[in-house]
Amino acid sequence: MKNRVTGIGGFFFKADDPDNLKDWYKKRLGIPTDQYGWSFKWRKDDDPEQRALTQWSPFDAATDYFKPSQKQFMFNFRVENLEELLEVLKEEGVTVIGSIEKYSYGKFGWILDPEGNKIELWEPVDEELL
């Protein structure tokens, strides 16, 4: 498999008051947050005409989205060919969580690293997001 991870798709973390925290980042650091956080937009190195994004999102501290991990954060990595990658990872003994979810803006899958951190793998369709 040529490429596995191609970049950071997002950084998600738990917060006691996500709306207040997004507001703090907006006021103090000038980050133009919305209901989801902030989408950092950038251009691809191998094709600068193509745009992409990385998502920054605080989640409510009570979220179940990070389970089974008990950690306060979750990385989202951009990948190529999610289905093939998950098969290869299974063969390598990596714990795969749930099944692939498909949306107009991409496919998602989840794994656990050796320390129990949940990692979201995203095969994006950038054109749907920009």
51-75 pLDDT, tens per residue? 899 999 999 999 999 999 999 999 9
Structure tokens at 68: 């089974």
Cβ neighbours of residue 3 under 8 Å, at least 6 residues apart?
79, 80
DSSP bridge pairs for 74: 12
CA-CA distance, 14 to 61, in Å (whole number)? Answer: 5
pTM of the complete model:
0.90
Neighbouring residues of 107: CB distance < 8 A, sequence distance ≥ 6: 82, 83, 100, 101, 122, 123
Q: Output the average pLDDT for the chain.
A: 94
Mean pLDDT (whole number) for 109-116: 96
Residue with tokens 């979750």: 74
Q: How many helices (H) and strands (E) does the chain have?
A: 2, 7
Q: Report how far residue 105's alpha carbon sits from residue 127's, in angstroms, rounded to the nearest whole number.
A: 8
